[in-house]
Amino acid sequence: MRVVRFLIAVLVPVGLATGAGAEPFAPNPHLDWTVSPEQIHDACKSAKDRADTALREITVLEPQSRSFANTPAAVEAALDDLYDTTSGDAFLKDVAVSSATRDAARGCQTLLDKYNLEVFNREDLYKAVKDYADKDEKLGGEDKKLLQKELLDFKRNGLMLAKDERAEVKKLKDRIVEIQQAFAKNVDDVKDSLLVTRAELDGLPDDYINRLERDGDKYRVTVDYPDYFPFMENARDPQARRKLEFLFNNRAASENVPLFAEALKLRAEAAGRLGFANHAAYVLEDRMAKNPFTVEDFLSRLRSKLKPLGNAELKVLLELKSKEEGARSDGKIDAWDWRYYDNQLKKSRYQIDQEAIKEYFPMETVVSGMLKVYQKLLGIRFREIPDAAVWHPDVKLYEIVDATSGLPSGPPIAYFYMDLFPREGKYKHAASFNIVNGRRLADGTYQKPVAAIVANFPKSTNTAPSLLKHGSHQDVETIFHEFGHVMHMTLTKARYERFSGANTAWDFVEAPSQMLENWVWDPAVLASLSGNYKDPSKKLPEDLLKKMIAVRNVDTGLVQLRQVFLSEVDMAYHTEREIKDPTALYARMMRDISLIPMNPGTNPEASFGHLFDGYDAGYYGYLWSKVYAQDMFSRFESEGLLNPAIGKQYRDEVLAPGGSQDEMDLVRKFLGREPNEDAFLRSLGLEKKKGA
């Protein structure tokens, strides 16, 4: 296959001993990708028991003997040790080949999630930390923030409540954790597909058609991203698009619709018992935004600026639809239409053909170019580790070396895995995972972080190369975004795991990686990422490059209104007092805000995974953090996109602290001023550049 050694040509392999009998290299002694389901179960339980013992030892100390080291720091250390010894096993729920292993890993994750709730529901542990806090010792920096966060966790779990009331809150939260795991598993296990004729594939490129599974004279199109999105963007048959969109937005509906409704009720009840007006108020207390009113004001301002633009864009798409469908047109852009006509607009107005463009973005070229950009920008080097221990043959492991010392080589400071191609049972989207967090260990050494980028880009075959699409929310931008998370996770210098890397406020966590999406739109960077797969010496033509940059903000109103809609429906789910029909609420708000009606009979909330992976009452964070992302990017715009001095400052002042400092302070320090929305609005084409 074309991609087996796609990074070896551009990265220098580490000189590790890999002779006969040598064990495959693992970046941390706790990581073992060969564990059996039984071993996962036993190891997870043992780790929990060790944490129990460590926490029990903290609680028996006399109040007068309490210190920061033996109480708040000791609580953190016990939980850090628990995470370090179980995180690899839990991660297998998303990537393991064996379904039994994935199930065992999910069981481990559920146990850990529940245990974390138990820890901050413990009255004896709360008393221990409170006894130390009452001594009012002078603390600063991370130590001060650690104590504040631990006290806040106890408060948010009801330790100020009566014992029986607290038990009810814990019961509610335990059930929410169970729902979260079941919801994710149901979506991951979906194997729905649509059988289509060759005629219904009209508009799809040959490489797409040739890789589809055949069933007699029909072709099987799944609801997985690599099948779904190209089909929705290119298939000319509107009824075929409608049928696939119906399947996609009914993924796991029979199982997850009732689970979702139950989760909303339980979240609202738990928040009420804890003294909050609603679940959103509970969540936002610990975010940059602080409260739902700030979020709703932010979204309302943005919606009012975007709606006129979205209506104008919708009119253009309707003209395209009327021209193509004639008398058959229903006179509106349906849910199964907008991706298709958005693609047709780009082709007709800018002569942008994504299928032609992606020929210039083979996986090998994009990834090698991306790594070179990150290395130059952040003052680091990546080196592939041959014969590393991995969970699947497609996976690669790399080490990160600090290149700012000026030495030709040095010890690794962190590691990352790349798992980029789809397979059955694997996590279905693109995401980054912090497998091992960086932190200061008891012996004074710093634990090297380990992260992974997991994606589902098309895989090379004997007849077709792996080609990536370029555009907003397309493959090239996605991989830059996710790798930005990996850099955040691995270049940390935070002392405590709680603040390590991307463990920041949830409405800031996307900002560093969103900022780095901008690089894929720079002409010089784009040239370095491109090379025709048939002849790598043929770079992306300059005229095509200019069209791609020009088309970046095509339909930006509709695209961003969809993000506003998802943010607002999330807030509605978690602020309204009683929601009798979550699907009906979704349909109404989708029509009113995104301007595109929902496909009747679908249940999109049943696969809205972000509402169960930490973004409940927090989906607005994508737009919120984009404001700070674009503001930070404005420095690079004015001082040089690959300016190593600015890159080093960004690495030291934004990435390295992780969540150990207030996120607003990080941004202020890097910018040298108060943040504002100007750069964000300019990026959407809503305001002109200064001096224009």
Residues with a known catalytic role: 482
CA distance 307 to 644: 39
Number of Cβ within a 10 Å radius of residue 90: 23
Q: At what angle do helices 72-95 and 37-59 cross, to 10 degrees?
A: 170
CA distance 162 to 129: 18
CA distance 243 to 579: 29
Residue 397 half-sphere exposure, CB side, CA atoms within 13 Å?
24
Residue type, 68: F
Burial of residue 443 (number of CB atoms within 10 Å: 0-12, 13-18, 19+): exposed
Number of Cβ within a 10 Å radius of residue 212: 18
CA distance 106 to 85: 15
502, 485 Cβ separation under 8 angstroms: yes
Look-up of token digits 């720091």? 73
Q: Where does 135-250 have alpha helices with state H?
A: 141-156, 163-188, 206-211, 225-234, 238-248
Look-up of token digits 């001993």? 17
CA distance 365 to 524: 14
Residue 103, SS3? helix
CA distance 265 to 278: 10
Burial of residue 429 (number of CB atoms within 10 Å: 0-12, 13-18, 19+): middle
Structure tokens, 69:
């080291």
